[in-house]
Each structure stands twice: as C-alpha cells, then as structure tokens.
Amino acid sequence: MAYLDDLKEVITVNSYTKNKAGVDRVGDIFDAWLETIGFTVTHYQRELIGAHRHYRSSRQEGKRLLLLGHLDTVFPPDTFDHYREDAEWVYGPGACDMKGGNIVAVEALRNLQREGVDIVNVDVLFVSDEETGSDDSKLLSGKLAEEYDYCLVFEAAGQNMEVVTARKGVGTFTIDIEGVAKHAGNHYADGVDANLEASHKLQALVALTDLEKGTTVNVGKFEGGIGANTISPKAHLLFELRYKTRDERERVLAAIDAIVEHSYVEGTTSHLSGGIQRDVMQSSESTLAFVDDIARITGVRLPTEERGGVSDANIISSKGVVTLDGLGPFGDGDHTRHERALKSSFDERIDLCTKLFRHFIEEGGFR
C-alpha cells in the first residue's frame, strides 16, 4: 500500500478552495505522477483559484473515457491539515473527499503502466473549485464532456461500496424585495412592508416541496428591515432548490417565477437572481447497463444508490455522457475534522478500476 505515502503527501498540503497556492501545489504533485505515466497536461490558469488540469493520454479510434476528480477541500489553512492512520483507517482532509479518490484513479493507471499496457483514450480531469460549487470549472467541464463517451467520478463510495447512478440537481436563488419605509407609529398605513411580502413568498416557496418526488425548497436565510419602529423597506430571501427529475425542475422554476412576479403586499417589487448550479444526474437505462458491464468485466456486482448531494458528475451527465460516481474509497466524516477513509476499500477500488481500464483500452470500450 505504498500509495498511502502518496495520499499523505497530498493530504498534508492544504488545498482549501481559496488557497490558490496550496491547490496549485497539490495539482503540481499530480502532474508529476501522471506525466511519468505518459499523460500530457493542459493547465487552465485562474487568478483567484487553482488551475484546472486536463491530462490527456494517446489517441486512437474508439470510445473515450474521462476520469474526474477535484483538488480542493473545504478546510482553511491551520484548521485541519494533518494526516494519520491506524490499522483500518486513514484520516485527514480529502481522505475520502476526494484526494483518496484521485489516488485510486492514479494507482490504477500506474498498474497498467507496470503491466506494459499502453494507455489510450483514457483522460483525467481535476478541477480546483468543486467544493464551492464549480462556478468557474463547470463551463470547462461541460465543454470537455463533449469529447467523451463515458465518465467515472471518484467521489467516495457508499458504505457498502455502492456506486452512484443519480444525484439531485441543485439551484441557489435570491429574491430581493423593495417596499417603502415609514415611521411605524406616525405613518404606519403609508408604509409598504417588504418583510411581510417576504414572509408570504417564503411560505409559497416552501409549499413547492414535494417529498414524494424528491423535491425540496429550503429558504435558508431571511433578512430585512431597519428596526422595530420602521416599516421595512427591504427584505432578502436566500433559498435552495433540489430535485430528482427535469420535469420537477421545470415545474418549480415556473412556480418560482410566478411567486416573484406576484405582489402579496401591494406596492412591493421583487427581483430574482441566481439559478441552477448543477443540473440533475438522472439514472438511465444506459447507466444501469454500464453497471451490468462492470459486473461482466470484473466479476463484481456493484450495489448502486442515488444521492441527494451533488458533485461534478451532475455536470458531465447533463451533457449526455454515461456517468457513474462513487468510484473512490469508502469514507465518512467528510467536511468535518473526523474525515477518514477505509484502507481496505482502496485496494478494492484500485483492483476494480485496473480491470475496467485495461478492458476499456484493449477492447475499445466497455461493451
């Protein structure tokens, strides 16, 4: 398990999304490893965040496979930077989310090199801003997705080594409401209460939730007003939409527009901003057939699951690429100081991916 030394090396470099130098340092380490295997790297430099990195193998006719990960973590410098391990677990920022997953991909590719397999039509994309929503990288990821037929994403596996066939879509929005400020004692009737308007809109938004269909609308922040003696001239709602199907996306987006346009309190005006951050990753016949192919190729029947959280798999899947997520090791405690990954799951995933990559290269695809 010498690859755990590599994992330690990247974990102990802080790669908080806004720590550009740290993210770039981690990226440089992966550059060295993948260039040694024979990949060529293109850097997409950014001023305020780390460079996104696209590693290309040799090309020949046939299907193309993208391996997808991210370099950043959620922990600012001096908050959680250490690495440790015991008999069963490795601990540290990114152990499972997702430096550990990146190591799985790299080690499986190294196995092919050790076997003398020429790596062709298998590329790697590591972005630098996934933990803050991929606001910069999603355009690049979506564009590059057009080159590929399949994508494997190395976020953490489920507790029973599940792979992920579907993820909810997510959108984040704000509504800014304007009313008219007046003295609450002397001119109450002349005021136009933005807070009251916001309260009506809040209830209307939450009512769009349909748990049976997996749709939720959460108003996470409500701000407004000046003080107790003033009719509120302004209010602000911050809310999130999550959904499992494109039909639900369209239903809720249309309803949001109607809620924004309607004034429950006469004289208020409202403005909507924001939008869909990552579109839904829906399970499909081709995705499930891919799981069947993996069982045939490797002899391992992978359990599957759908997740409410999002990843960059949403972006690639929305471009029509057959996508599976959760190819990393099993871990838990991600986004906390207790983040860890199960040692045995690394070997399991590396072995699986080595077989998959070898078959893909030798057969020109998975089918």
pLDDT per position as a tens digit, 172-212: 999 999 999 999 999 999 999 999 999 999 999 999 999 99
- Which band of pLDDT confidence, cut at 50, 70 and 90, is reported for residue 46? very high
Please give the CATH architecture assigned to the domain spanning 3-167+280-363: 3-Layer(aba) Sandwich (3.40)
Please give the CATH architecture assigned to the domain spanning 169-278: 2-Layer Sandwich (3.30)
| Whether residue 1 has pLDDT greater than 80 | no
Res 367: pLDDT: 83
Res 225: pLDDT: 97
Domain ranges within the chain, ordered by starting residue: 3-167+280-363, 169-278
Across the range 137-165, mean pLDDT stands at: 97
- One fold for 3-167+280-363 and 169-278: no
Query: Six-digit token pair at 324?
Result: 């599976």
Res 177: pLDDT: 98
Query: Six-digit token pair at 16?
Result: 């908080």
46-49, long-range: CB within 8 Å, 24+ apart, which pairs?
A: 46/20, 46/128, 46/136, 48/18, 48/20, 49/17, 49/18, 49/20, 49/23, 49/128, 49/129, 49/136
4: left (phi over 0), alpha (psi -120 to 50) or beta: alpha
Helix, strand or coil, per DSSP, at residue 331: strand
% pLDDT > 70, the chain: 100
Contact yes or no for 335/84 (Cβ under 8 A):
no
Res 179: pLDDT: 98
% pLDDT > 90, the chain: 99
Element (H, E) at 323: strand 322-324
Res 254: pLDDT: 98
Res 143: pLDDT: 97
- Which band of pLDDT confidence, cut at 50, 70 and 90, is reported for residue 96? very high
Res 126: pLDDT: 98
| pTM (predicted TM-score) | 0.92
Beta-carbon neighbour count of residue 5 at 10 Å? 8
Tell me what the pLDDT averaged over the chain comes to: 97
